[in-house]
Amino acid sequence: MSRKIQHIIVVGCGLHFRERYYSVLQQQADMRISMVIDLEAEEERIRHFFSDKSLTPEQYLFLPDQYRNDLTPEELDKLLCGRIYKKAIDAVIICTEPKAHKAYAIWAVRNNLHVFTDKPLTAFSSRQSSESLLQDFYDISGEIRNEQLNFVVSCERRAHTGYNYVRQFLSDLIRTYRVPITFIDIHFGGGMWNMPDELFYRENHPYKYGYGVMLHSGYHYIDLLFSLMSLNKILYPDMHASTLHALAISPADHLGMIDQAVYERCLHTDRFSEYFQPDNISRLHDFGETDVTLSGDFKSNGKRISHYCLQLMETSASNRGWHQLPENTYISNGRLRQESVIIHVGPLCSIHISSHSLSKQQSADKTEHFTIEIINNTNVTGHAGYIQLNRKDITDMYPEMPLNKGMNVAARQWQLQNFLQGGDAHSSLSSHREGIAFIDKVYRQLQTNMEYANAPNERIHV
């Protein structure tokens, strides 16, 4: 564990930072925000946010829009020259657009600063450069010279109380009976109903740069797959992802499914007609995926150990009933999260996890929906045949997790708190290598238009 962090630079002061991270910083004794870096277009909004706050930046740096996606560490160094004393800074917190992450991350580690960054580690600016994700990982990690440097990629389900219970249960089962996880199914519904025009211009969770759900919220579930599968390394240390089948739905496909008549009938507007013209539909084929289904296996020494199915769907039930984009797209745009996870441990055990956001929005006490069901082979394990845990049961087991607090929010905040205290938040940069290699391979397969049934059976080299 490295030393406690007190002096920070914040890169990107958008809704995510303001809603989730600022309160954590405010609670830290002797915390100082040495600088906030953002775009000139955000200056008024950011200054207004800090106008009545007790913890405020010592200085601001607002950059022209040309630096939104196109910035190098060398350019950043020139922009900061004479404005800050680097040796007085402990860390950089990166909450900006993922396409800009790489420059800030490399600048930070070159200057021996700890890094806490939102997922994903990086993103690309066009489908033609979609093969850069794994190289970005190596470029950033290759700049780290100090082994004591802490680099955290925030990914909340690594610190999620409910999932941690499941990991411990599975770890104990695998160690005791020497049986691996044989199958995992993960389904995510994002409830993200983008209007046709938004597909073309959105900068927050964009599609126009060639990436979509896998580098939006879907990253959490890819990371969850690898986090759970890593438990098999108790038995098979060299286990790796192998065969991959991928089927993606593009925004062009999406508008074919949800056509112009739907918007006229459900939202009573015809203002999107131009976006259904052939020229615009053609452009959308190069945009990022709205939905993707991935399946494949994990092998060890050529032997298949486990397989999986991963469905990441931003096209799912939504509460959006308006066609104008609200100012707060983070929590006020009708998104409804659904997630379900099924895990089989051969003939010994099956675990079903279910969570969705609707009950929390509608229930009087704001209790979130999260259930764990465990079906056991009692004749072998001696465990109860059926175990069911709900959100209240989790609070009873872990009193530090209040019933009215969302476990995802708590996990995000704990990760930042742990980082500020010198920990790695269970989410070090190196631990994301396999997941990034996997996403890199999916995009390479999609880019070459390979039929998912004919995908090569190869190891993902990391």
- Write the pLDDT tens digit of every residue in 402-446: 998 999 999 999 999 999 999 999 999 999 999 999 999 999 999
- Provide the pLDDT for residue 453: 37
Q: Average pLDDT for residues 81-101, to the nearest whole number?
A: 92
Least confident of 226-230, 356-360, 375-379, 401-405: 356-360
Q: What is the pLDDT of residue 449?
A: 56
pLDDT above 60 for 456: no
Q: What angle do CA 348, 353, 358 make, to 5 degrees?
A: 165
Would you say residue 462 has pLDDT above 60?
A: no
Residue 106 neighbours by CB under 8 Å, 6+ apart: 73, 139, 140, 143
- 378-405 mean pLDDT: 96
Band the pLDDT of 362: cuts 50, 70, 90: low
Share of the chain above pLDDT 90, in %: 85
pLDDT digits (tens, 9 = 90+) for 2-26: 678 999 999 999 988 999 999 999 9
Tell me which of 37-46, 61-70, 286-295, 361-370 is least confident: 361-370
Banded pLDDT at 460 (limits 50, 70, 90): low
Model pLDDT, residue 447:
85
Alpha-carbon radius of gyration of the chain: 22
Encode pLDDT of 334-349 as tens digits.
899 999 999 999 999 9
Chain centre to alpha carbon of residue 78: 31
How would you write the chain as a 3-class SS string? Answer: CCCCCCEEEEECCCHHHHHHHHHHHHCCCCCEEEEEEEEHHHHHHHHHHHCCCCCCCCCEEEECHHHCCCCCHHHHHHHHCCCCCHHHCCEEEECCCHHHHHHHHHHHHHCCCEEEEECCCCCCCCHHHHHHHHHHHHHHHCCCCCCCCCEEEECHHHCCHHHHHHHHHHHHHHHHHCCCCCEEEEEEECCCCCCCCHHHHCCCCCCCCCCCHHHCCHHHHHHHHHHHHHHHHHCCCCCEEEEEEEEEECHHHHHHHCCHHHHHHHCCCCCCHHHHCHHHHHHHCCCCCCEEEEEEEEEECCEEEEEEEEEEECCCCCCCCCCCCCCCCCCCCCCCCEEEEEEEECCCEEEEEEEECHHHHHCCCCCCEEEEEEEECHHHHCCCCEEEECHHHHHHHCCCCCCCCCHHHHHHHHHHHHHHCCCCCCCEHHHHHHHHHHHHHHHHHHHCCCCHHHCCCCCCCC
Record the tokens describing residue 244, joined without a space.
């991959």
In this model, does residue 364 exceed pLDDT 70?
A: no
Q: Alpha-carbon distance 447 to 131, whole Å? A: 9
At residue 452, the pLDDT reads 41
pTM: 0.94
What pLDDT shows up at residue 359? 62
Predicted pLDDT at 367:
83
Residue-level pLDDT at 346: 98
State mean pLDDT over 188-217: 95
Model confidence band, residue 457 (pLDDT cutoffs 50, 70, 90): low
The phi, psi pair for 71, rounded to 5°, reads: -145, 140
- Measured distance CA(8)–CA(31) in Å, rounded: 8
pLDDT at residue number 454: 43
In one letter, which amino acid is 135?
Answer: Q
Query: Tens digits of per-residue pLDDT, 227-260?
Result: 999 999 999 999 999 999 999 999 999 999 999 9
**Between 179 and 127, where is the model more confident?**
179
User: Over 60: is that where the pLDDT of 451 sits?
Assistant: no
pLDDT of residue 363: 52
Q: Which tokens go with 416?
A: 């930042």
Whether residue 54 has pLDDT greater than 80: yes
Q: Dig out the tokens for 194 from the structure.
A: 């983008």
pLDDT of res. 455: 47
In terms of pLDDT, which residue wins out, 250 or 333? 250
Q: How far is CA 77 from the centre of its chain?
A: 28
